[in-house]
Amino acid sequence: MKTPSETSGDPHPPGADLLPAAFRRWFAEKGWQPRAHQLSLLEKARDGKSVLLIAPTGAGKTLAGFMPSLTELAERGRKKPGTAFQGVHTLYISPLKALAVDIERNLMKPVGEMGLPVTIETRTGDTPQGKRQRQKLSPPDILLTTPEQLALLIANTEAERFFADLRYVVFDELHSLVTSKRGHLLALGLARLRRLAPNMQAIGLSATVADPLDLRKWLVSQAEGEAAADVVVAPGGARPLITILQSEDRIPWSGHVARYAIPAVYEEIRTHKTTLIFVNTRSQAELVFQELWTVNDDSLPIALHHGSLDAGQRRKVEAAMAENKLRAVVATSTLDLGIDWGDVDLVIHVGAPKGASRLAQRIGRANHRMDEPSRAILVPANRFEVLECQAALDANYINAQDTPPSGDGALDVLAQHVLGMACAEPFSGDALFDEVRSALPYADLPRETFDRVLDFAATGGYALRSYDRYAKIRQRPDGLWRVANPQTAQQYRLNIGTIVEMPMLNVRMVRKNKLGSLGRGGPVLGKIEEYFLEGLTQGDTFLFGGKVLRFEGIRENEALASQAFSMDPKIPAYAGGKFPLSTYLAEGVRGLLADSSEWHRLPDQVRDWLEIQHEVSVLPRRDQMLIETFPRGSRFFMVAYPFEGRLAHQTLGMLLTRRLDRMGARPLGFVATDYSLGVWGLDDMGEMIAARKLDLQALFDEDMLGDDLEAWLDESFMLKRTFRNCAVIAGLIERRHPGQEKTGRQVTVSADLIYDVLRSHEPDHILLQATRQEAAAGLLDIQRLGAMLRRIRGHILHRPLDRVSPLAVPILLEIGKEPVAGNASESLLAEAAEDLIRDAMQA
């Protein structure tokens, strides 16, 4: 809990009389004042309203969120022994387990000091079975939990009783909860809570967001006539002091490691008490950590923290952090969100922050005292990132944070929820449909789609109706749907949740004995994605957990590795954590490029870079998209600069090469970054444009999102991974089966094959529809691409050049770094077969 303001002023601020005596006494004893937003929220809640509280980190947000519950519970008094069952009064939902635990600790303190008759408990995946059972029989007044636990609770046959007395549900970090499939499941859970406890009010706590209306609507029913939740905005604290790292060293043209900046970063660590260093991916974390230790002449305690490391290892780092024993921690998003960690006095962000809200969140970490400014340094890894950092910096000052829209509710999530609701109690299709539509992400769900999802949950939803006898839920003569057998409920509980991990293997450290054979039983260092390990052969070295390891092989379900003494490891090519450039920052970067009067704020070398670009080519206006064409080597290049993020550019690249091929331009390949897209081919595309053989307006027409997209999607390998996620979430493929652990390996293999079979036999199946929908929204970023194509219509600026321009250099440097998929694998096979034939002929 963040402490309220210590300023003394008016002893009776408006609304203070809403506070019970115990609260007023407590504030007075501490010499504190309740803050205006805390009282305002209390007042609105007393009026029976759901409320969204927008407050920067450190503004006493959590106490405010619990104020309505605590005051009401204080007035209610302690439950007398022997009285009837009393359900849970307040539910608190946080995105992170650790946050729930943290809040419990912090909430207990004032509750104890005020002597309030309130019981507070947590319930997470770590809560022992015995305690969970007890909580069901005798719920605490306030239950602190996670979205997954909520889903389990409402799917329980006792849910009605458990939640009958529910008054408040508090969503912490709401802005980060609503955007994913996890948010969709949570929205459905909230809809169910509204039905179980019609008088319940929702309270959302959120960091500053650009458009709070979505969050206000999210909190309430979408039924006609419902007003969005009220909003209370807490005043912002001191502005953070953010700078871009000043380095004498040359800023690279491309890449993501920022090796050049390591000495400067180290210098900052030396001159601060505790520094948090954030990076965007786990492989970056490993690299930065290793680089810092190579210059760590003072042997400062610098630690590493990312999601693949063994949990015990992570807990150790967190504990050392809380005790202020560390000088620096290199971390990925696992350390994100509002948890306090000791006295951090500096945040360094390596690489581009990608989204302004993410940056604010991470900087908020540095300092939870509102009145002191946070200190942060941005370290761009390449020249475009300098522009992005500058744009992010501008965004932070104007406080216009962006969060991705919550999007249409995913159908796989709905399928999971439908099954859960059948586990709770028999339901009528009509009633559940209305309930589901009351959740914001599903407000526009057509009945026909709902019925297909219901059919899927029941029998798999196949056109070939051969599974009716194996149905998981059945419609009885009374018209209500019920689970067919107890196993279904058990299966549901084991497979709940929307977070699907890539298949991972434990990495176990082993020692080689004198004979060269491997010993057993070293420590487990953490987990690595299976696909990465499969690409390794014995003897390959890689960086993990801050060590260079030598891969020894896979034994059963573990990867074995020994200590390596190589200094030049292969780097784990982790899939996770690559965020695309956010729309808001993209706009900022385009603005910065277009406005040379702003360039004085950029480092000299970056300014020079743009000035030369201005001389030899052109810098597009804010509303324009620049296309440059030039020859290089034996190839001809076309580089476009949409600044719409890597995902949208990749999709654009796929579609453009198809079209160029059809127009006879003979493209050979493309490469995409967050900022630009480069296509190369055998023909001079610049000349074709000049000769009007290639029409740029037609090439970039929005209609590429029609048939071309469909055709490409059908053969795209990207859909397989998306399908696997959907299939797991929808319950088609189980993570775990009662009595048997399924390894990740088995799940992947079958998901791909099942996708092939389903696609060839029932391409319109609801799960394939869900897969395409998700791919379009996520992996392919179709919406953003569509908006971009509309934006640039009539604003394409073509500049034919004799040679590469300064702006095009970064993307050309990326060529060859990206793996090539598709037909390349067949030629690899043919080549190997020829080797065999050649060897045979020699013998």
Partner 1 sequence: MARLALAGMETEEIGASVTTVAGVDFVCDPMGALYCEADGLLVVSDLHLEKGAAFARRGQLLPPYDTHATLKILARVMDRYRPKLVVSLGDNFHDRVGSALMPADCRALIGDMARGRDWIWITGNHDPDGVIGLPGTVAESLAFAGLTFRHEPVKGAEKGEIAGHLHPAATLRRREKSVRRPCFATDGDRLIMPSFGVTTGGLDLAHVAFRGLFDRTRLIAHMIGKERVYPVSYEGLKG
Which chain residues interact with partner 1 by CB under 8 A? 459-460, 462, 464, 466-467, 470, 472, 487-488, 491, 534-535, 537, 555, 732-734, 737, 746, 749-750, 753-754, 756-758, 760-762, 765, 819-820, 824-826, 828-833, 835-836, 839
- Smallest separation (angstroms) from partner 1 to the CB of 158: 23
- Smallest separation (angstroms) from partner 1 to the CB of 508: 16
- Smallest separation (angstroms) from partner 1 to the CB of 150: 24
Task: Give me 233's structure tokens.
Answer: 């905005």
Sheet architecture: strand order including 346-350: 241-244, 375-379, 346-350, 275-278, 328-331, 302-305
343 vs 835 by CB, closer to partner 1: 835
223 vs 833 by CB, closer to partner 1: 833
- Smallest separation (angstroms) from partner 1 to the CB of 696: 34
- Smallest separation (angstroms) from partner 1 to the CB of 824: 7
213 vs 757 by CB, closer to partner 1: 757
Task: Give me 160's structure tokens.
Answer: 């009605």
Q: Classify 6 as helix, strand or coil.
A: coil
Task: Give me 372's structure tokens.
Answer: 């002191």
340 vs 558 by CB, closer to partner 1: 558
- Smallest separation (angstroms) from partner 1 to the CB of 678: 21
d(CA 484, CA 517): 53
Place of tokens 């390349």: 824
- Smallest separation (angstroms) from partner 1 to the CB of 470: 4
- Smallest separation (angstroms) from partner 1 to the CB of 480: 21
* C-alpha torsion sign, points 403, 610, 280, 557: positive
Written in H, E and C, the secondary structure of 376-395 is: EEEECCCHHHHHHHHHHHHH
The pair phi, psi for residue 32, each rounded to 5°, is -110, 165
264 vs 554 by CB, closer to partner 1: 554
- Smallest separation (angstroms) from partner 1 to the CB of 658: 20
540 vs 611 by CB, closer to partner 1: 540
Whether 382 and 260 have beta carbons less than 8 Å apart is answered as no
134 vs 465 by CB, closer to partner 1: 465
CA angle at 730 for the pair 405 and 722, rounded to the nearest 5°: 60
Place of tokens 């809809």: 191
Nearest to 183 by CA among 450, 445, 441, 500: 441
d(CA 88, CA 97): 19
685 vs 732 by CB, closer to partner 1: 732
Task: Give me 682's structure tokens.
Answer: 């055998």
CA 116: distance to chain centroid? 38
Whether 767 and 730 have beta carbons less than 8 Å apart is answered as yes
Instruction: Give whole-number Cα distances, 420 to 35, 134, 149, 454, 726, in Å.
Output: 41, 22, 12, 12, 16
What is the largest distance, in Å, between two alpha-carbon atoms of the chain? 99
227 vs 828 by CB, closer to partner 1: 828
- Smallest separation (angstroms) from partner 1 to the CB of 200: 33
- Smallest separation (angstroms) from partner 1 to the CB of 748: 9
616 vs 768 by CB, closer to partner 1: 768
- Smallest separation (angstroms) from partner 1 to the CB of 340: 43
- Smallest separation (angstroms) from partner 1 to the CB of 98: 33
428 vs 538 by CB, closer to partner 1: 538
Number of H helices and E strands in the chain, helices first, is 32, 27
121-148 burial, b at 16+ Cβ within 10 Å, e below that, comes to bbbbeeeeeeeeeebbeebbbbbbbbbb
d(CA 563, CA 687): 56
The pair phi, psi for residue 401, each rounded to 5°, is -80, 145
The pair phi, psi for residue 507, each rounded to 5°, is -105, 115
96 vs 415 by CB, closer to partner 1: 415
555 vs 666 by CB, closer to partner 1: 555
Instruction: Give whole-number Cα distances, 472 to 149, 187, 482, 491, in Å.
Output: 22, 24, 9, 10
- Smallest separation (angstroms) from partner 1 to the CB of 837: 8
Enumerate the β-bridge partners of residue 183: none
- Smallest separation (angstroms) from partner 1 to the CB of 556: 9
Sheet architecture: strand order including 558-563: 524-529, 504-509, 558-563, 547-555, 541-544
CA 666: distance to chain centroid? 38
- Smallest separation (angstroms) from partner 1 to the CB of 147: 24
305 vs 765 by CB, closer to partner 1: 765
151 vs 732 by CB, closer to partner 1: 732
306 vs 765 by CB, closer to partner 1: 765
d(CA 450, CA 461): 12
CA angle at 55 for the pair 51 and 56, rounded to the nearest 5°: 160
Nearest to 808 by CA among 581, 636, 592, 594: 636
Whether 647 and 783 have beta carbons less than 8 Å apart is answered as no
